[in-house]
Amino acid sequence: MKRFFYMLCLLALFAALPLAWGAKANAEERLALIFGNSAYGSVSPLDNPVHDAKLMADALAQVGFEVTLLSDATQLEMKRAIAQFGRALRKAGSDATGLFYYAGHGVQSFGNNYLLPVDVALEDAADLDLVAVEAQSVLRQMASARNRTNIVILDACRNNPFGDIPELNDNGLAEMKAPTGTFLAYATAPGGVALDGLEGNSPFTRAVVDQISVPGQPVEQLFKQVRRAVLKESNGLQTPWDASSLVSDFLFIDQPEPPKPAAAGELQVWQSVQATRDPVQLTLYLRGYPDGEYADEARTLLAEIIEKELAPPPTDPVPLPGEAENKLFQSAQADGSIAAYEAYLQAYPNGTYSEMVRAEVISLSAGTSTDPEADGEDETEVAEALDSSTSTPNSPEAGPITFASPLVSDLGPVSGKSLAELITGSPAFPPIEGLPEAYWKGQTCSNCHQWNRERLCTQANAYLNLTMQRSLTKQHPYGGVMKRALKSWASGGCQ
């Protein structure tokens, strides 16, 4: 119970450690709106924008963005989502970061850029702003939030879907002016055409996603790497473009801080705590140095100690005698002399039968039993004497008895008690004749014998051997009833 309360208190202290154990969450809120339009009805469909949008959404979610993703959106759906995106940015506050990504058809007209919903239908260039979404409206929504950083990524220059309309014969998108705090990235240079891609994603979007996962890279440096990658893949045919009016640094993933050298005071504390391996001291160290040089090592050590404390104690299996030990014991039984038993003990001082053999040696040395062979008795006479004794009222062998059966005996301390009780009880008279009471009176049998149920069963089975049955007539601190009870118990399979 004491150990239980100790561990309970320790676990409570362990749980109260600062949350600095985990990764540091992003301080600013990050919001992203992503469109991927492929399934156009009135103009040529595109293969990859929906896949590109999904790839970008997954990458941004991994670096802490709250992502809204729309695939194959109509004009109404696009305008509604852009308006909601603006409201969310304004609500998020000045430290928020907004990111807008579009993959699909895009065109320019009179210097303005338009993003095409999948339900676009156009016969006259004058109707373009009525059926499409002006890219400038996205910039207005983001600028209205007056937040610190906004990023716009347009992968929308794959080809001109309105080549048959004379007023819309310009390729690609026009360069836009970036409001303060905004970074604009295009899949290709103004007026250029971007590749849709042959492997499920456009080269531009795939390169952006690859660089987002690189820690410690400012957004300007990121798109320089994107430009190099796309130029290489397109053999110089496609040059990504960007424009920036950022006034603060932005990194998708912060550069991990190099480990700080441990202060001299912390080092001394850690060395002292580590040497004690005391879980309470380790916990207090972690509370004082949650980000210390040795904090991870301390957590690992503390977890190991707690796991060890909570593990159940190991149980020692009862060893079984080997063939050589069995043969030597049987030989000693057959001989029945002190020398034979002492030879067994010399070879196996802690053997399976050692307790029984020591009892025989003590009994023979004290002269409290006689050697049947020395008295001229043969095994048949011994067996007959034992068989005749089993019919007496006080014999416990009428059963066979069980480990919990009450024994019948003329000895008051024995009668009515089971083997299970006797092995933890006290002897009725000295185990060795003349032994002072101070050495045995009130002591339990377990003080001299390593008795448990398994070991006792091994010894009991020995009494089933005809030669060993001679020992049943020899004196015992519990009287002969104890040995006869063991024999009866063994004959029933030690139940």
Lowest mean pLDDT among 69-83, 250-264, 301-315, 365-379: 365-379
Give the three-class secondary structure for 419.
helix
Task: Tell me which H or E stretch contains 114.
Answer: strand 112-115
Q: To which residue do tokens 């009994």 refer?
A: 363
Predicted pLDDT at 383: 40
| pLDDT tens digits, 283-314 | 888 988 888 889 999 999 989 888 887 777 66
Which of the four pLDDT bands, split at 50, 70 and 90, describes residue 18?
very low
Which of the four pLDDT bands, split at 50, 70 and 90, describes residue 230?
very high
Residue 472 has pLDDT above 70, yes or no: no
Between residues 447 and 111, which one has the greater pLDDT? 111
In sequence order, the 6+-apart residues with CB closer than 8 A to the CB of 47 are: 38, 196, 197
How much of the chain exceeds pLDDT 90, in percent?
Answer: 35
Calculate the average pLDDT of the chain: 79
Which of the four pLDDT bands, split at 50, 70 and 90, describes residue 101?
very high
Rounded CA-CA distance 123/365 in Å is: 123
Rounded CA-CA distance 135/132 in Å is: 9
Predicted pLDDT at 68: 98
Q: Are 318 and 455 within 8 A, CB to CB? A: yes
How much of the chain exceeds pLDDT 70, in percent?
Answer: 74
Predicted pLDDT at 429: 65
Q: Report the residue count for the chain.
A: 495
Predicted pLDDT at 436: 62
Rounded CA-CA distance 147/183 in Å is: 13
| pLDDT tens digits, 28-46 | 899 999 999 999 998 989 9
Task: Tell me which H or E stretch contains 185.
Answer: strand 182-186
Residue 227 has pLDDT above 70, yes or no: yes
| pLDDT tens digits, 383-439 | 444 444 443 444 444 557 888 888 777 767 777 888 788 777 777 666 555 556 665
Closest CA to 47 of 158, 138, 122: 158
Between residues 344 and 440, which one has the greater pLDDT? 344
Predicted pLDDT at 343: 80
| Maximum average pLDDT range among 271-275, 378-382, 389-393, 447-451 | 271-275
| Maximum average pLDDT range among 231-235, 374-378, 432-436 | 231-235
Rounded CA-CA distance 110/262 in Å is: 63
Name the token pair of 215.
């820690």
Sign for the pseudo-dihedral over CA of 212, 213, 214, 218: positive
